[in-house]
Amino acid sequence: MNARERFDAVMHYQPRDRSPIMDFGFWDETIPIWKQYGFPEGMSPDDFFGMDRQWDTFPINTFLSPGFEWTVLEDKGETLIVRDGDGVTKEQGKFLGSIPKHISHTLKDRSTWEKEVKWRLNPSPENRYPSDWKRIAEKLKDPKRDYPVAIPAGSLYGKIRDMMGVENLSVLVYDDPALFEEMVETVADCIIGAITPALQSGVKFEYASMWEDMCYRAGPLLSPKIFKKVLVPQYKRITSLLRQYGVDVVMLDCDGDISLLMPMWLEGGVNCMFPIEVGVWQADPVAMRAKYGKDLLMVGGVGKRLLASSKEGIKAEVIRLAPLVEEGGYIPLPDHRVPPDVSLDNYIYYLQQARKLWGNNLDNLRPMHEPNKAAPKYGKEYSMAID
């Protein structure tokens, strides 16, 4: 069975040889630290760990076109002041800088929306595709293609939040609800206009990918009432179009506690949750399946913090999730990019257990490689510190 067939089988509860063995990726700092403990120079994580091929996404820009010019405004030594492609001025660290500090935002109100942003969301697909996209489409139509491909289906809240900042957008939702609704509908129009040519090209997309990141440890950043009123109808427009062209798996990436929004995403036709972040609220894919049944598809759900704990705990979790993996509709992988407090030794152990139970220890798993025993800290007590 190849990766494309395996993905399709898992997501439709069909028989398959094994689960995909994959990860979400790693913090920028993780691999440099692991190299001190034996991760080899010059090798990609996928090759070293023997991961299955990562899924591809068709290259379509579903948001600002053109974006703002990314510019470094000031180098402060350990941090940079930049203006990014969303028009946000922010300070970000050069190392351990995953969460930047927003300083100012181009999008502030109706005036800046009309002047700086709305015209960049023209639904015309022109300039939203690479010049050779038709050649790419022809390649993907090959019936022998052995890997799954997604069509991007955009973001209705998350990208607006990125442009304005959480606080500013949260205030605008109540101070100018008409503008918020206009923004969401305009973004949906843009997404629909952007993806239609790719859907019409004849490519069989295995799934659609969306991104929101609109929840945190205490729940959603937008009230469920407003979510249902404003966002759900626009999700329905997008997912109805996707299903017209046979795309019946719609995967949405959202961190945080998503429990209050899941039933409304399902109502809107978004049926696959990723990465099922465990967090302090203890989200659990097993409990989610019990509540929502097979209508809910899932990817993720292996707590990244668990991977930093004991090997006994890691093994117990791999065993606990095995029946859900076997049932289908679920692909297990770490619930976010792996942070540097997870040791290389622990991560290798996790993958060994996952390959054995979820991968059925089959010969078609790619080989794992051995750490470099000559590394300066190989075999020593793990520390995140960079010497």
**At 208, which helix (H) or strand (E)?**
strand 207-211
Q: How far apart are CA 193 and CA 154, in angstroms?
A: 11
State whether 90 and 181 are in the same domain.
no
Domain that holds residue 232: 3-64+106-357
pLDDT value of position 99:
75
Choose the final residue of a domain: 85, 105, 125. 105
Name the average pLDDT for the chain.
96
**pTM, rounded to two decimals:** 0.94
Helices marked H in the chain: 3-11, 30-34, 45-49, 110-112, 133-140, 158-164, 166-175, 177-200, 224-226, 232-244, 262-267, 285-292, 311-327, 344-357
pLDDT in tens, 227-241: 999 999 999 999 999
In a domain, 369, yes or no: no
In a domain, 370, yes or no: no
Q: Does residue 377 have a pLDDT over 70?
A: yes
Q: Does residue 374 have a pLDDT over 80?
A: yes
Given a contact cutoff of 8 angstroms between Cβ atoms, the answer to whether 48 and 40 are in contact is: yes
Structure tokens at 223: 């009230």
State whether 48 and 138 are in the same domain.
yes
In a domain, 127, yes or no: yes
State whether 160 and 88 are in the same domain.
no
In a domain, 367, yes or no: no
In a domain, 377, yes or no: no
Choose the final residue of a domain: 84, 105, 126. 105
State whether 41 and 76 are in the same domain.
no
State whether 233 and 269 are in the same domain.
yes
pLDDT in tens, 173-200: 999 999 999 999 999 999 999 999 999 9
Q: How far apart are CA 329 and CA 41, in angstroms?
A: 36
Report CA dihedral (61, 62, 67, 70) to the nearest 10 degrees: -70
pLDDT band at 384 (very low <50, low <70, confident <90, very high): confident
pLDDT band at 383 (very low <50, low <70, confident <90, very high): confident
Biggest CA–CA distance in the chain, Å, is: 62
In a domain, 385, yes or no: no
State whether 50 and 124 are in the same domain.
yes
In a domain, 381, yes or no: no
Find the angle CA(10)-CA(285)-CA(339) to the nearest 5 degrees: 100
Q: What is the CA radius of gyration of the chain?
A: 22
pLDDT in tens, 121-146: 999 998 999 999 999 999 999 999 99
CATH of the domain at 294: 3.20.20.210
State whether 122 and 254 are in the same domain.
yes
State whether 330 and 232 are in the same domain.
yes
pLDDT in tens, 23-80: 999 998 999 999 999 999 999 999 999 999 889 999 999 999 999 999 999 998 889 9
Structure tokens at 74: 């000031």
pLDDT in tens, 293-337: 999 999 999 999 999 999 999 999 999 999 999 999 999 999 999
Choose the final residue of a domain: 82, 105, 128. 105
State whether 340 and 296 are in the same domain.
yes
State whether 121 and 241 are in the same domain.
yes
Q: Does residue 385 have a pLDDT over 70?
A: no
pLDDT in tens, 90-100: 998 876 556 78
State whether 330 and 353 are in the same domain.
yes
In a domain, 374, yes or no: no
Q: How many structural domains are present in the chain?
A: 2
End-to-end CA distance of the chain: 45
Given a contact cutoff of 8 angstroms between Cβ atoms, the answer to whether 257 and 216 are in contact is: yes
State whether 15 and 84 are in the same domain.
no
Q: Does residue 387 have a pLDDT over 60?
A: no
DSSP 234-282: HHHHHHHHHHHTT---EEEE--S--TTTHHHHHHTT--EEE----TTTT
Q: Does residue 147 have a pLDDT over 70?
A: yes
Q: Does residue 365 have a pLDDT over 70?
A: yes
